[in-house]
Structure 1
Amino acid sequence: MASQARSYGEGLGRGANSVLGKARLILEAFEMDDMDLSLSELSRRTGVSKASVHRLAQELLEWGMLERSGQEYRLGMRAFELGSRVPRFRILRDAARPFMESLHFASKEAVHLAVRDGREVLYLEKIASGPEAAKPSRIAGRMPLHCTSSGKVLLAYAPASVVEDILSGELTRLTPSSTVAPGLLLEQLKKVRANGYALEQEEVVQGYCSVSVPIHSSGGILLGALGIAAPTFRADVPKLAQALIATSSRLSRSTLLN
């Protein structure tokens, strides 16, 4: 959202006034549901003057980071290409995808792969079909750590400083069922470590729940989270958790990750 785009500028401090800082603001102004943004909208979201946005947009167009659609702009293929080159994420995604396909075939539910990026869950891959394909995670999409099953898994095995950072901020309520009490979240994280999986029920989207498990390397390093999302009425949580734990164990032994 626009407020999020502006907050990036605040985080950059004086760097937001540099050429690179302004270019970053322009690129990060695009949200998940955005296709095309006008020059005026980019200026509004970034707080950068129209003249500067126009000048920098021309350079980003030449680089391929942006593309033109009539009088509007959209993210270019170069942005996708560079993102796909990140070795850590690419290796994890490539290793996990065959296992995710098997899980999806067996469960007929949406399967997703996620990592922690700062205070958020970043989804690297998703395999789904039908209406579930759009609910609620998306590839390259972000969600809060505290109310998603993937996020709870990633928090449960994260350093204490990460958990403290999350608890020190506002825990956003996405639905009436979202976990927003720090004490309750801490209890849930203990349960995750005890059971080996995390569960959220209608905390992100009403009518849906998800189960996630950690993915560790053979050396015990946390690599990400593997999860299944399903309509609450048909979700067999113990069965989904068992399938996920078994799959994660096999994935952890994959030669691609070791």
Structure 2
Amino acid sequence: MTMAVEKATETPSAVIDRISLVLDSFDGPGRLTLAQIVRRTGLPRSSAHRMLERLVALRWLRREGRDYELGMRLVELGSLALHQDRIHRAAIPLLRDLHRATGLVVHLAVLDGSDVVYLEKIGDHLATAIPTRVGGRQPAHCTAVGKAILADRDNTAVDLSDRRTRFSIASTAQLVAELAKVRAHGVAFEREESLPGFGCVAAPIGPAGEAVAAVSVCGPMNRMAFDSRLVAPVRMTAMGIWRSAEGGPERVAPTLQPLRPLRGGPAPRVIGPNPATLQPA
């Protein structure tokens, strides 16, 4: 009788909310048991079990024994969402150029609430040292990509209590000062604020004052150049992505002077003309 009443009174929006609650419980590594999902969602055990089995049948989840994990249908939909995203589609060739030019890990990210969500990550052996992933989140104020976008947003609430290292921004005054620098120079820096030993340089993507995404290069601090050697190619890549997304014909290749290589590693390649010959955009 209770089950019949529950089904009769449950609205479609309530069902969607419950499904979202269940899927959100998988935000993290590893599989989950029914008991863990009930504990994380607060749903009645019988309701959670019915919903899980239906999601397994629809391939949104996958079950092995008593454990559940995200299913292939979500992988398919996530991949399709990226494919349909015009910024991501426009960015891919330019992100590859930027990685080849710098030898550093390249990220494409958007702002979601007070976090950044990564849409793309391109890198070689360095990529494994930086614990970011496509679809992963980081507090925006701890990242260069986040600060690049936040500088264009006036009313975004930021939880400064979520710090990743001792170098992370810790006060409103510090954040305001940092974002003012980003607006003044059109580029954001991160120095060990999200990961000890690593830094990033990022630029916003979008019309002036209305950033929709950001692109960055990241690597070990002894390989980072917080000057025109990285600022120029990152900014040019950001401009090229936006022009391509808007349907412009130009494809802007990143330009880079040689950087001091990692100890024992090859020097990064130089792609494009000499930065000294570039005119300001």
Shorter-normalised TM range: 0.7 to 0.9
The reply on whether 1:27 has 2:17 as its aligned counterpart is no
Q: How far has the Cα of 1:257 moved from its partner?
A: 5.0
Residue-by-residue CA offset, 1:39-78 (whole Å, 9 max, x unaligned): 1111111122322211100111122211112321111121
Equivalent residue, structure 2, for 1:65: 60
Of 219, 225, 232, which aligns to 2:221?
232
Query: C-alpha distance in 2, partners of 1:146/1:74?
Result: 31
Letter in 2 for 1:174: R
Query: C-alpha distance in 1, partners of 2:223/2:127?
Result: 13
> SS of 2:165's equivalent?
coil
Letter in 1 for 2:99: H
Equivalent residue, structure 1, for 2:196: 206
With 240-249 and 187-196 compared, the bigger mean Cα shift is at 240-249
User: Larger Cα Rg: Structure 1 or Structure 2?
Assistant: 2
CA contact (8 A) 2:87 2:245 kept: no
Q: How far has the Cα of 1:82 moved from its partner?
A: 2.4
Query: C-alpha distance in 2, partners of 1:26/1:188?
Result: 38
Q: Structure 1: where are the runs of 5+ without partners?
A: 1-13
Equivalent residue, structure 2, for 1:40: 35
Q: How far has the Cα of 1:202 moved from its partner?
A: 0.6
Of 77, 100, 103, which aligns to 1:105?
100
Query: Which protein has the bigger helix share?
Result: 1
Query: C-alpha distance in 2, partners of 1:206/1:173?
Result: 12
CA contact (8 A) 2:160 2:169 kept: no
Query: C-alpha distance in 1, partners of 2:233/2:202?
Result: 10
Q: How far has the Cα of 1:249 moved from its partner?
A: 1.9
Query: C-alpha distance in 2, partners of 1:82/1:191?
Result: 38
Equivalent residue, structure 1, for 2:265: none
Of 211, 234, 238, which aligns to 1:244?
234
With 19-28 and 104-113 compared, the bigger mean Cα shift is at 19-28
Q: How far has the Cα of 1:200 moved from its partner?
A: 1.0
Query: C-alpha distance in 1, partners of 2:164/2:247?
Result: 34
CA contact (8 A) 1:36 1:69 kept: no
Q: How far has the Cα of 1:83 moved from its partner?
A: 2.8
> SS of 2:166's equivalent?
coil
**What is the TM-score when the length of structure 1 is the normalising length?**
0.84
Residue-by-residue CA offset, 1:179-215 (whole Å, 9 max, x unaligned): 0111011011010011111001111110001111011
**What is the TM-score when the length of structure 2 is the normalising length?**
0.78
Equivalence map 1:152-231=2 (5 Å): 152-158=147-153, 160-162=154-156, 165-166=157-158, 169-217=159-207, 221-231=210-220
Equivalence map 1:138-157=2 (5 Å): 138-157=133-152
Letter in 1 for 2:112: D
Q: How far has the Cα of 1:88 moved from its partner?
A: 9.1
